[in-house]
Amino acid sequence: MSITSDGMPDNSIVIDVENVTQRFRVYQERPDSIRALFAKFFRYEIQVHDFDAVKDVSFHVGKGEMVGIVGRNGSGKSTLLKVVAGVYRPTLGRVTVRGTIAPMIELGAGFHSELTGRENVLMNGLLLGYSKREMKEREQKIIEFAEIGDFIDAPVKQYSSGMYMRLAFAVAIEVDPDILLVDEILSVGDMGFQEKCFERLRRFREARKTILFVTHNVKDVEEYCDRAILLDQGRVLLDGKPHEVIEMYSAITAASHPHEEVLEPAVGQ
Amino acid sequence: MIDLFRDTYRYRELIWALALKELKIRYKRSFLGFLWALLNPLLQMIVLALVFSTVMRIGIDHYAVFLISVLLPWTFFAQSLSYAADSIVGNADLIKKVRIPKVVFPVAALTSNIINFLLSMISLVFIVLLLRYPFYVTWLYLPVPFLALVLLTLGATFFFAALNVYYRDVSHILQIILQVWFYATPIIYPIEMFGKYQWIFKLNPLIFALNGFRMGVYAGGLPTGKSIAASFVCGIGALVIGYAIFRKKQDQFVYYV
């Protein structure tokens, strides 16, 4: 299963996911109150069951690769990305990441609506582990990329959703991490900006940086990724060339929704 | 314990930014803005001073100074706890999206309250001037009980922040606890009032640090060595216990927030 592109030597693996299982405890009624605690204590009534969002998943990503992760809703894509980002500590297995990592998971999660764009840029950078000085150096580039002009000193609650998104994307890409985790974000924003984002991602890759990319849009996977991974019910169904993965993805999507058209049919082949 | 200091140092810029953010948001959209952090305690103290020097006369010399000298550190303690109890739950959005040591949130909440406290001490200087109460040289000693108080508060902060993740009732119960605690602590009354039962009050870990404030500002003396030692034993003890609990649970927070 471990494919490094172009037979690169093993030491260039930057993301190493080994037999990772991510388990969530699902409470029928979560004991988030004292009442429920008493109930649990006296009657053992709270139903719990464990749910594995990601099951025994292994893969490597080599330096400079762009890997797409596809799968239906609930297949564990976002959970897997969060495990790689270090938000979750895997229940079983191990994740090794070499280099700085910037998650673009849900853009602008760290933005506070009362703070200005500039303050939020700094805050977001600090949250990603960069120093104030590093962020000041990058600030101009971020503002330019986001095409936000004088609005940078206005509270972000006054931003349009497009501006908000552009600024968040700009922060994540311009901090220039070694590894970028992208979750389904390029589907927002107008065509022009999307184009620009992909152009920027291309330059990012030319600098031998790594991208892990979750999406539903199989066309982007076909066009930009070196490799793709298909997840289904938390397991890796296929890890291989984008067109093979997309073909299989289309097949399982068609099988589960026989009456719906597959929106993005596999291209070619 | 070492990782607490390491993470705090490594993320000092983030902690500072989060603390400032909290203050900024608190005073946002008010005309006087940040000045409120100074004015608010000042006005409160003026009211207290007026009430106790004219309306209600209490048989304690300069009761206003007597009261305010411990009321300020108490307010710092109570407010820090209220803020910090929500610091993990309130930052759920971040915790679920970025990998970040969880300690930064309670520490940032405490930092913003330390800033507030220092500003309120400036107001205390004004009040003491206004009341023509003498400035004792023992003011210089105040950083010592303050350090003990910060350690104690930080420990309590970790404990309540962690507990509140699992049981949201905690932030409500905390308000009641603080009210009872307020009256159980010799803030509005002198401990000497209770004669031979004074030892009961000494079960209260807060009392030793607060005593340092009252001695320094009001009495113009220094607490006994035993009292100073006790204040640090309580502070360090609370921090060790509170942080141990927080640390044990912190990896689980993301599933419960």
CA dihedral B171, B176, B181, B183 (to 10 degrees): 150
Interior angle at CA B76, CA B65 and CA B1, nearest 5? 135
Cβ–Cβ contact A122 with B under 8 A: yes
The count of domains in chain A is 1
Nearest CA distance, A111 vs chain B (angstrom): 9
Question: In this predicted structure, which of A194-208, B75-89, B112-126, B205-219 has the lowest mean pLDDT?
Answer: A194-208
pLDDT score, position A266 = 42
Nearest CA distance, A105 vs chain B (angstrom): 7
* Chain A residues close to B162, C-beta within 8 Å: none
Rounded to an integer, what distance in angstroms lies between the CA atom of residue A109 and that of residue B97?
7
* Chain B residues close to A50, C-beta within 8 Å: none
Check B99 against A123: CB less than 8 A apart: no
Q: Which is higher by pLDDT, B243 or A257?
A: B243
What digits encode the pLDDT tens for the residues A68-84?
999 988 899 989 999 99
The pLDDT of A80-103, averaged and rounded, is 91
Cβ–Cβ contact A32 with B under 8 A: yes
* Chain A residues close to B25, C-beta within 8 Å: 112, 114
By CB atoms closer than 10 A (0-12, 13-18, 19+), residue B49 is buried
pLDDT score, position A5 = 46
Check B25 against A114: CB less than 8 A apart: yes
Q: In this structure, is residue A198 part of a structural domain?
A: yes
Q: Which residue of B has its CA nearest to A22?
A: B255
Nearest CA distance, B13 vs chain A (angstrom): 7
Check A132 against B13: CB less than 8 A apart: yes
In terms of Cα–Cα distance, which of A109, A85, A110 is closest to A99? Answer: A85
Rounded to an integer, what distance in angstroms lies between the CA atom of residue B171 and that of residue B167?
9
Q: A245 Cβ partners below 8 Å, 6+ apart?
A: A68, A70, A221, A228, A229, A230, A238, A239
Mutate to test the interface with B, among A48, A52, A104, A115 (most CBs of B within 10 A): A115
Q: In this structure, is residue A82 part of a structural domain?
A: yes
Q: B38 Cβ partners below 8 Å, 6+ apart?
A: B119, B120, B122, B123
Q: In this structure, is residue A118 part of a structural domain?
A: yes
Q: In this structure, is residue A56 part of a structural domain?
A: no
Q: What one-character DSSP code corresponds to residue A97?
A: E
* Chain B residues close to A115, C-beta within 8 Å: 21, 24
Nearest CA distance, B247 vs chain A (angstrom): 14
In the predicted model, what is the mean pLDDT of chain A?
Answer: 83
Residue B133: which pLDDT band, with cuts at 50, 70 and 90? very high
CATH number for the domain spanning A194: value is: 3.40.50.300
What digits encode the pLDDT tens for the residues B9-53?
999 999 999 999 888 888 877 777 778 878 888 888 888 888 877
Q: In this structure, is residue A130 part of a structural domain?
A: yes
Residue A44: which pLDDT band, with cuts at 50, 70 and 90? low
Check B97 against A33: CB less than 8 A apart: no
Given A89, A109, A126, which is nearest B97 (Cβ)?
A: A109
Q: In this structure, is residue A58 part of a structural domain?
A: no
The count of domains in chain B is 1
Residue A253, token pair as written in the block? 């999507």
Check B14 against A87: CB less than 8 A apart: no
Rounded to an integer, what distance in angstroms lies between the CA atom of residue A53 and that of residue A60?
19
pLDDT score, position B49 = 80
Cβ–Cβ contact A86 with B under 8 A: yes
Mutate to test the interface with B, among A26, A112, A179 (most CBs of B within 10 A): A112
Rounded to an integer, what distance in angstroms lies between the CA atom of residue A45 and that of residue A47?
6
For A232, the domain range is: 64-89+100-256
For B175, the domain range is: 2-256
